[in-house]
Amino acid sequence: QQQVKQSPQSLIVQKGGISIINCAYENTAFDYFPWYQQFPGKGPALLIAIRPDVSEKKEGRFTISFNKSAKQFSLHIMDSQPGDSATYFCAASRSYGQNFVFGPGTRLSVLP
């Protein structure tokens, strides 16, 4: 019930293309769904996050789509750039201050 599944494990996209990463969760008590971006040798950093009261959130080229009934959420990166090449983690938590459950990560490579 605590698990967050993430796919694909790795993704290769051409510059300018759309990158899509999907996550699914089981625990309906989760109420916060962030995406973290991690570059090699660095700690993860918050990219964008959503709460279940909205179905979509957009920040620049990054969009989260959230489907509460299906217990799924996804990250879309529009106009992908080589600088977006990183590992992306989805996560979920139950309430403020509670620990995150992280997905296994997706390694994105954007080819120039």
Partner 1 sequence: DAGVIQSPRHEVTEMGQEVTLRCKPISGHDYLFWYRQTMMRGLELLIYFNNNVPIDDSGMPEDRFSAKMPNASFSTLKIQPSEPRDSAVYFCASSPPPGIGAYNEQFFGPGTRLTVL
Residue 73 touches partner 1, criterion: CB under 8 A: no
Beta strands in 8-105 (DSSP E): 10-14, 19-25, 33-38, 45-50, 56-59, 62-67, 72-77, 86-92, 101-102
**What is the rounded CA–CA span in Å between residue 10 and residue 14?**
14
| Residue 97 in contact with partner 1, rule: CB under 8 A | yes
Rg (CA), the chain: 13
Q: Which of residues 22-51 bind partner 1 (CB under 8 A)?
A: 32, 34, 36, 41-46, 49, 51
Binds partner 1 by CB under 8 A, chosen from 89, 90, 106, 108: 89
Given a contact cutoff of 8 angstroms between Cβ atoms, the answer to whether 75 and 20 are in contact is yes
9 touches partner 1 by CB under 8 A: no
Tokens of 83: 């600088």
| Residue 104 contacts partner 1 per CB under 8 A | yes
For residues 76 and 107, which CB has a smaller minimum distance to partner 1 in the complex? Answer: 107
**Which residues lie near partner 1 (CB under 8 A)?**
32, 34, 36, 41-46, 49, 51, 89, 93, 96-100, 102-105
